[in-house]
Amino acid sequence: MGTLKAVLQHPDDFYPLLKLMMAVKQAEKQIPALPHWGFCYSMLHKVSRSFGLVIQQLGSELRDAVCVFYLLLRALDTVEDDTTIDTMTKIPILMEFHRHIYDPYWHFSCGTKEYKILMDRFHHVSTAFLELNASFQEAIEDITMKMGAGMAKFICKEEVVSIADYDEYCHYVAGHVGLGLSKLFHASGKEVLFPESTSNAMGLFLQKTNIVRDFLVDINEVPKSRVYWPRQVWSRYASKPEDLKHKDNSKKAVQCLNHMVTNALVHIEDCLKYLSGIRDPAIFKFCAIPQIMAIGTLALCYNNIEVFRGVVKLRRGLTAKIIDRTNTMADVYGAFNDFCSMIRSKINVKDPNAHMTVSRIDDIQKICKNSRTLDKWKSYIIDDKPTCRPALIAFLIVIMAILYAYSQHHKSKEATS
C-alpha cells in the first residue's frame, strides 16, 4: 500500500515499477532446474531482489560466479552479524570460511529468516562454487579469506576508534568485495584488471552509505548494540553514541550525521573513474546502479533527523527508475550531479562541516560537468512532479492495486503448496 501511495504522488514511477515487476517475475521463471543452482538463484532473489535482477543480466559464466560470490559474502555477513554467537566460536568460523566453501557438506546454523535458510542449506552454495572454473574459484577464495580475517580482527575490537580504523574495517568487509568483483570481471575476459585503489573505493562508498543509513538499526541491535561510526567522529557531538538518537540531542545528531555523509563523499571521484573504464554494458549496469542508489541514499540521509528515528531509504519507484534508466556513463554523471545538487540544497552554512561538504560536492559536480553530457540529461530527481492527468493517475492506481492483489495471492499459493 505504501507503493500505491507513492505512485499517486509520483505517477511517473508507474512505468519503471511495472517494468521492474515484470523483469523480476521473468527472472524468477528462469531459475535453473538443478537443485543447487536453483537454490542459489532462489536465495539470491530472497536476499536482494533488485540486485539479483541485475546479476541475472550478466553473461552466463560470470552470472553464476557473481551469484555464488554474493551468497558467500551474505553468509560471511550473517556469521559476523549474529550477536547470539560468542566471539570464541565466531572467530575461527570467519578465519576458516574460505576453506569451508570447498566442503559440500559444511553448514553452520545461525542468522534469521532467509539468512538462516542460507546457512542451514549452505551445501548447495558450496556445490555450485565447486562447478565454477578455476580462475573464478581462486579469486573468490582469495577474497573470502581476506574478508574473513578482517572481520575476525574487528570482532576483537570493542569499537571503531579512528577514521583510519573505519576505513580499514570498510576495506575488509566491502573494499575486498570491489577487488573480488574486479578479479571476476577480469577472469571472464570482458574487462581489464582495474586498479586496486578504484576497486576498493567502489566498495567503501557502498559500505559507508549502509553504515550511515543503518545507525539506528545497529545501535538498537539485541542483545548487544553495534556502533560502526568511529569514536573520532561521534565523540565531537555526544558523550556516547547512544545519545545521538535522543530527541533533545537532535541538532548535534544531525551535525554528526552530516560529518559521516561528508566522509563518504571522498570516494566518489574514484568510483566515477572506475565506472568510466568499464567496457561491457551488462557489467557497467551491474556496477553503476548500486553506486547511484548509494549517492541517492546519502542525499536522503543528509541533514535528515529521521535517520535517528526510523528507516530512510529510496522509494521503490525511484529505485525502479535508476534500474531502468542507467545504461551509459552519461546517465551516471547526470544522476550524481542531481543527487549532489540535492545535498547542496540541504547544507546549513552553520553546520561544522559545511565548508568541507560544499568542497566535495563542488569536486564531484565539476567532474560531472566536464563530461559535457549534462545538457542531454533528463532528470528523474529534480523537478520530480506529477505530469499525468488525474484520470490517468486513477487508472494507474487501479492497475497497481490489481498487481498487488495478484502478487499477494501468488505468495499465498506458494506458501500453501
Q: Which of 284, 272, 281 is nearest to 339 (CA)?
A: 272
Give the ranges where 30-86 is alpha helix by DSSP (H): 35-47, 49-55, 60-81
**Type of residue found at 215:** F
Closest CA to 369 of 342, 346, 321, 336: 336
Q: List the catalytic residue out of 213, 315, 316, 360.
A: 213
Q: Among 249, 246, 247, 209, which residue's Cα sits nearest to residue 229?
A: 209
DSSP one-letter string for 341-384: HHHHHH--TTSTTHHHHHHHHHHHHHHHHHTT-GGG---SSTT-
Whole-number Å distance between alpha carbons of 376 and 378: 6
Question: Please, are residues 6 and 88 in contact by the beta-carbon 8 Å criterion?
Answer: no
Cell of residue 77, nine digits: 555477513
**Which residues have CB under 8 Å from 108's CB, separation 6+?**
79, 93, 100, 119, 122
Catalytic residue among 108, 185, 286, 302: 286
383: left (phi over 0), alpha (psi -120 to 50) or beta: left
According to DSSP, residue 30 is labeled T
Rounded to whole angstroms, how far apart are CA atoms 135 and 145? 16
226 carries an active-site annotation = yes
- Helices 35-47 & 60-81, crossing angle to 10 degrees? 60
Terminal Cα distance for the chain, rounded: 26
Rounded CA-CA distance 178/54 in Å is: 16
Catalytic residue from among 108, 169, 284, 302: 169
Say if CB 107 and CB 121 are below 8 A apart: yes
Indicate if the alpha-carbon torsion angle 50, 52, 53, 55 is positive or negative.
Answer: positive
Query: Would you call 169 a catalytic residue per the annotation?
Result: yes
Cis peptide before 390 (omega within 30 of 0): no
- Select which of 15, 63, 121, 226 is catalytic: 226
- In terms of Cα–Cα distance, which of 93, 134, 143, 270 is closest to 199? 270
Q: Which three cell numbers stand for residue 33?
A: 532446474
Report the catalytic residues.
169, 213, 226, 286
